[in-house]
Amino acid sequence: MAFAEYPLGQPQADAPRLPLLVRLHDWVVTVDHKRLGIMYICTGLLFFAVAGLQASIMRWQLAFPHHDVVSPAVFNRLFTMHGTTMVFLVGMPIILGLANYLIPLMIGARDLAFPRLNAFGFWLSLFGGVLLYFSYLGGEGLTGAGTAPDVGWFAYAPLTERAFSRGHSTDYWILSLLVTGIGSVATSINIVTTVFCMRCKGMTLARMPLFVWLLLVVAGMILFAMPPLTAAQLMLLLDRYLGARFFDTQAGGSAVLWQHFFWIFGHPEVYILMLPGFAAASEIIPVFSRKPMFGYAAMVGATLAIAFISMGVWAHHMFTVGMSTMANTFFAASTMLIAVPTGIKIFNWLATMYGGKIRFATPMLFCIGFLFQFLCAGLTGIMLAAPPFDWQLSDSYFVVAHFHYVLIGGLLFTIFAAIYYWFPKATGRMLSETLGRWHFWLLVIGFNLTFGPQHIAGVLGMPRRIYTYAPGRGWELWNLLSSIGVALQALAVLFFVWNVIRALRQGPPAGDDPWDAWTLEWTTTSPPPEYNFETLPEVQSRRPLWDLKHPHDPDWRHE
C-alpha cells in the first residue's frame, strides 16, 4: 500500500434510522463489547467533566490566601469527591472501556468471553457512580456531618469511624466503591478469560499486540488488588454498623491497619490506571514512527516486573507513619527498584522513535507530551521513594503535583491519544487535526502551569487537603499560577468536546485504516460490524497487516 496521506474510504451507505426509543433500548440491553466499551468511556468522560468542575472550584478557592469561595466543609467534600471520582469513576471506566472495545478486535474474536457479565459489570460501575453522587442528596446525617463524603479519597481510619464521621456520607463512599469494585472485578475476569481462551488462529501469546498484553496484566492486577479495598471497606462497614472494632483505636484497633490494607490496593491501583496508558502508547508510537515496537519481549517482561513489584511497594505511602527502620528501608528498596522496568519502557519507546519517520498527528502529539510529563512524574517519584526526602515531601503539594503528573500528564494524555487514534475506527469519522492541535497545546500549557508550581508550594511546606492558607508563607504566587492554569485546561477540554461533536456530525469518513497501521482492528470496517470480522482471521506475526502490505518483507521472518 502506498504511503500517501491517510487513505480515506467511502462513507458507509446510510441505513434508514430506527426510532429513537428503539435505538436507546438497543444500547441499554446491549451485550456487544463495542457498545459497552463506548458506554464505559462516555461514562468516564462525563464524570471527568464533573470532577474537573470540582477541581476548578478548589483551585478558585486556593487562588488567594484566606479566600472565601466555599466553606471548609464544602471544600473537604470537594477534594474527597474529586479524588474518588477521578480514580474510580473516570480512570477505571475509561481503561476498562478501551479494553472492552479493543481487545476482541485486536485478537480476532467476535466478543468478550462472557458478554452478559460484561454488561453487568458496566451497569454496576454506572450504578456505583450514581450512588456516590446520590450522597449529595441522601447523605444528610447528624450534627451537620454533611452530605457527600468528606474523608478524603483514601478515607483514613479512625476519621471514618462512626464517632468522627456522623451521618451517612462515609457509608455512601463505602457502598458506591464496593459496587464499582465488583463491576471492575467482573470485567477483569472477562478480560483474562477472553485473552486466554479466544485468540484467533496463529495468535500465540507472543504475537498479541502489546495493548492486549498490558491489559491482560492490568486485569490480573485488578483481580488481586481490588479485594484488599473491598475487604477493608467491609471491615469499615462492620465497624460502623455492627460495632466491630477493626479500626476502633479505643478498643485496641489499629488505624495503621486500614492504611496497610488501603495501600495494598491503592498502590497497584495507580499502576492499574497507568498501564493502559502505556498500552495505548505502545500501539500509537510505533505506527507514527513507522517502526515496530522496539524490544517487544522486554516490554512484556518490564510490564510483568512492574505488576509483580507493584504488589510490594505499598508502604511507601506510609513512610511517615512511624514504621521501623527495616520496613522503611525495604519499601524504599522495592519502590526504587520499580523505577528500573519503568525506565526500560521509556527507553524502548524512545528507541522505537529513533531511526523512524515521525508523523506528528494528534495521537502522536499526545504521546510525546506523555513521554515528557511521565518522565517528570517518574523522577519526582524517585524523590518520594527515599524515605527521608519523603518525610518532608509526603502529604504536601509536592505529592499532589507528582501524582497529577502521573495521572494527567501520563494517563490523561495517553487517553486522549487513544481517543484520537481509535475514534475513527469506532465511529467511521476523522477528528479534526487543527482542533486537536489546539486541544493539545492548550492542555500542555495549562496542565504544566497548574501542576508545575505545586512542586514548589510543597517544598515550601504547603500541606495538602487544606481549604485555605495564611498569607506570608510564600505560597501565594504558586497557588495563583496553579489556578490560572485551570482556565487553559478547561479551554482545552472544550476544544476536545467541540472536536468530537463536530466530527460526529460532519467529520470526513475514515475508512478501514486511516493511519496505515498494522494490527487486526484495522482490517475491519470503521465502525466494525456487530460481528467484528466477516471471517475470523489467522495471523503469523505481531503485525498481520504489515505482512499483507509488505509481502516481500513480512514480520514473521524477523520475529
Partner 1 sequence: MDRPVHLTNIFDPVSTPAQAILELSWLVLWICAGIFVIVVGLLTYILIRFRRRRADTEEPPQVYGSNQIELAWTVIPLLTVVVLFLVTARTIRAVQSVVLPADALQVTIVGHQWWWEIRYPALGIVTANEVHVPVSDQAQRQPTLLKLASVDVAHSFWVPRLAGKTDVIPNRDNHMWIEPFETGLYLGQCAEYCGTQHANMLLRVMVHTRSDFERWVAAQQQPPVRDPSVQAGRDLFQTTACVNCHTVRETVANGTFGPDLSHLMSRATLGASMVDNTLHNLQAWMRNPQHLKPGNLMPDMKLTPQELEHIVAYLATLK
Partner 2 sequence: MINVTARTSHAEPTEEALPSRGRVGMFCLIATEAALFSIFVVAYLFYIGKSLSGPYPAQVLEVPILPTICLLASSATIMLAERALRQGYGVRFSGWWLLTIVLGGAFLRATAVEWRHLMVTHHLTISTNLFGTTFYSLVGFHAVHVTVGLILLTLVLILSVCGYVTQAQSERVAALSLYWHFVDVVWIVVFLVVYIIGR
Rule CB under 8 A: is residue 202 a binding residue for partner 2? yes
Q: Based on CB atoms, which residue is closest to partner 2, 261 or 288?
A: 261
Rule CB under 8 A: is residue 463 a binding residue for partner 1? yes
Out of 347, 441, 498, 556, point to the residue binding partner 1 (CB under 8 A): 347
Rule CB under 8 A: is residue 540 a binding residue for partner 1? no
How distant, in Å, are the alpha carbons of 10, 169, 433, 514, 518 from that of 550? 24, 60, 28, 17, 11
Q: Which cell goes with 31?
A: 451485550
Site pattern 112..151 for partner 1 (x: CB under 8 A): --------------------------------------xx
Contact 247, 235 (CB under 8 A): yes
E-strand ranges in 459-550 read none
Out of 289, 310, 454, 479, point to the residue binding partner 1 (CB under 8 A): 289
Min dist CB 204 to partner 2, Å, is 6
Out of 159, 237, 238, 445, point to the residue binding partner 1 (CB under 8 A): 159
Rule CB under 8 A: is residue 535 a binding residue for partner 2? yes
Other C-beta atoms lying within 10 Å of the C-beta of residue 270: 18
Q: Binding partner of residue 235 among partner 2, partner 1, none, CB under 5 to 8 Å per kind? A: partner 2
Residue with cell 468471553: 113
Of 293, 340, 332, 294, the C-alpha closest to 313 is: 332
Q: Based on CB atoms, which residue is closest to partner 1, 111 or 513?
A: 513
Rule CB under 8 A: is residue 548 a binding residue for partner 2? yes
Residue with cell 470503521: 526
Site pattern 230..249 for partner 1 (x: CB under 8 A): -------------------x
Contact 195, 256 (CB under 8 A): no
Site pattern 223..252 for partner 2 (x: CB under 8 A): xxxxxx-xxx-xx--x---xxxxx----xx
Min dist CB 543 to partner 2, Å, is 11
For residue 499, what are the contacts with CB-CB under 8 A and spacing of at least 6?
Answer: 431, 432, 435, 436, 439
What whole-number distance in Å separates Cα of residue 378 and Cα of residue 107?
32
Helices (H), 162-209: 169-197
Helix (H, G, I), strand (E, B) or coil at 509: strand
Residue 355 burial (CB < 10 Å; 0-12/13-18/19+)?
A: exposed
Q: Which residues pair with 538 in a beta bridge?
A: 201
Rule CB under 8 A: is residue 201 a binding residue for partner 1? no
Q: What are phi and psi of 304, to 5 degrees?
A: -65, -40
Min dist CB 352 to partner 2, Å, is 23
Contact 526, 425 (CB under 8 A): yes
Q: Based on CB atoms, which residue is closest to partner 1, 190 or 380?
A: 380
What whole-number distance in Å separates Cα of residue 168 and Cα of residue 147?
8
Rule CB under 8 A: is residue 353 a binding residue for partner 2? no
Out of 56, 320, 392, 540, point to the residue binding partner 2 (CB under 8 A): 540
Segment 372 to 391, residues that bind partner 1, using CB under 8 A: 372, 375-376, 379-380, 382-383, 386-391
Segment 137 to 196, residues that bind partner 2, using CB under 8 A: 185, 188-190, 192-193, 196
What whole-number distance in Å separates Cα of residue 208 and Cα of residue 374?
25
Q: Based on CB atoms, which residue is closest to partner 1, 101 or 153?
A: 153
Q: Which cell goes with 50?
A: 464533573
Q: Binding partner of residue 227 among partner 2, partner 1, none, CB under 5 to 8 Å per kind? A: partner 2
Segment 508 to 537, residues that bind partner 1, using CB under 8 A: none
Contact 544, 523 (CB under 8 A): yes
Segment 16 to 45, residues that bind partner 2, using CB under 8 A: none
Rule CB under 8 A: is residue 360 a binding residue for partner 1? yes
Number of residues that bind partner 2 (CB under 8 A): 58
Q: Based on CB atoms, which residue is closest to partner 1, 512 or 559?
A: 559
What sign results for the dihedral spanned by CA atoms 533, 539, 541, 544?
A: negative
Q: Binding partner of residue 523 among partner 2, partner 1, none, CB under 5 to 8 Å per kind? A: partner 2
